[in-house]
């Protein structure tokens, strides 16, 4: 296996790891904070539901940013720009 292929596989593994962390971290952190707040301040269960929804929204925004960054890194065209046909 050439060094170029090793570098490509390592970069793909790093992208996969980052993708997974970007998806899980916001949901997990929002949920942990909501459960802590619920127990600390005796708030209802609705705070956990709001936190999960907020975490999913943050995760979606992270995915959009991540995909744009990877697309730019790989030299792909930005789909937001107008094409001249």
What Cα–Cα distance (Å) separates residue 83 from each residue in 62, 70, 79, 80?
A: 26, 20, 8, 9
**Domain-by-domain residue ranges, the chain?**
23-73
Q: What is the pLDDT of residues 29-70, one digit of tens each?
A: 999 999 999 999 999 999 999 999 999 999 999 999 999 999
Structure tokens at 33: 């904070």
Please give the Cα distance from 28 to 15 (Å, whole number).
Answer: 20
Read off the pTM.
Answer: 0.76
Q: What is the pLDDT of residues 7-36, one digit of tens each?
A: 889 999 999 999 999 999 999 999 999 999
Listed in sequence order, the residues at least 6 apart from 68 whose beta carbon sits closer than 8 Å to its beta carbon are: 78
């Amino acid at each position: 296996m050439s060094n170029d292929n090793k570098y490509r596989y390592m970069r793909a593994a790093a992208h996969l790891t980052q993708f997974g962390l970007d998806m899980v971290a916001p949901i997990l952190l929002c949920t942990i904070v909501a459960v802590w707040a619920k127990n600390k301040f005796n708030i209802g269960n609705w705070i956990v539901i709001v936190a999960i929804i907020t975490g999913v929204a943050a995760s979606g925004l992270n995915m959009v940013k991540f995909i744009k960054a990877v697309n730019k890194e790989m030299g792909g065209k930005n789909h937001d720009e107008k094409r001249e046909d």
